[in-house]
Amino acid sequence: MTEDVVKEEQTNSKKVSWEAFVKQDALNFMMAHNLQAITVDDGAGKKGVIKRTSKGDFSVQITSNEIL
């Protein structure tokens, strides 16, 4: 019964876009752990780099490679 509830919650939850993940979850993780820079890679060609600037702001760079 518990497994059914977990599966149902997983199917009902919205998928977060890569850009939203980098700008929200990854940035929040970086701020919570007081990091200067973080790089995330999905292994399928998408990469996000977040760096803290000298002014204390955050610079976010998101790249993707697509095979056509």
Per-residue pLDDT reduced to its tens digit, 9-68 = 555 556 789 999 999 999 999 999 999 999 999 988 899 999 999 999 999 999 988 777
CATH of the domain at 23: 3.30.505
Please report which confidence band the pLDDT of residue 4 belongs to, taking 50, 70 and 90 as the band edges.
Answer: low
Query: Quick one: pLDDT at residue 3?
Result: 55
Specify the number of domains making up the chain. Answer: 1
User: Does 6 fall in a domain?
Assistant: no
Buried b (16+ CB within 10 A) or exposed e, 7-43: eeeeeeeeeeebeebbbeebbeebeeeeeeebebeee
User: Does 28 fall in a domain?
Assistant: yes
Tokens matching residue 30: 């970086």
Query: Quick one: pLDDT at residue 62?
Result: 94
Unique residue bearing structure tokens 């000298």: 54
Range of the domain at 33: 16-64
| Whole-angstrom distance, CA of residue 63 vs CA of residue 42 | 11
User: Does 32 fall in a domain?
Assistant: yes
